[in-house]
Amino acid sequence: MNLHKLDNLVWVWNVHAPSSNAGSIAEYYPGTQYVDMPTMDIYSEFKLEYFNDMPALAASKPIALGEVGAAPTTEILSHQPRWAYFMVVEQPRRFLQLSRVTKRDLSRTASANP
């Protein structure tokens, strides 16, 4: 950073949703002094325990869904309101076919104000 005189950076730390063989995400987290925004990739169910783990690590910092296989519904976002953003990683047509999320659902999610 100092070499290139960069001073307007956001350090994002990303982890995949926990699994039984990987241990807790807290074991991998470098600490709030090194991370501006913790993010999580979720390609399956948006479990409340995954959500609860992130604010516990981030304290007052924003958290986000780095990559998702399907957009969270407005219902999920109402129960997990601190997700600052999400990024769907999938072909749009295939995503709409596989996830059972309609274009209307996406529009509702995008305009939701939790």
Query: Cα dihedral sign for 17, 21, 26, 29?
Result: negative
Query: Which pTM value belongs to this model?
Result: 0.76
Phi-psi region of 67 (alpha: psi -120 to 50; beta: other; left: phi over 0): beta
Q: What confidence tier does 46 reach under pLDDT thresholds 50, 70, 90?
A: very high
Q: Specify the DSSP class assigned to residue 50.
A: H
Q: Which residues of 8-40 are buried (b: 16+ CB within 10 A; e: fewer)?
A: eeeeebebebbeeeeeebeeebeeeeebebbbb
Q: What confidence tier does 30 reach under pLDDT thresholds 50, 70, 90?
A: very high
Query: How much is the average pLDDT of 57-70?
Result: 92
Residue 113 pLDDT exceeds 70: no
Query: How much is the average pLDDT of 14-32?
Result: 87
Residue 96 pLDDT exceeds 60: no
Q: Find out whether 41 and 14 touch, Cβ atoms under 8 Å.
A: yes
Could you tell me the residue ranges of all domains in the chain?
Answer: 42-114
Sequence-separated (6 or more) residues with CB below 8 Å from residue 16:
22, 40, 41
Q: Which of 2-11, 23-32, 65-74 has the lowest mean pLDDT?
A: 2-11
Mean pLDDT of the chain: 83
**What percent of the chain lies above the pLDDT cut of 90?**
41
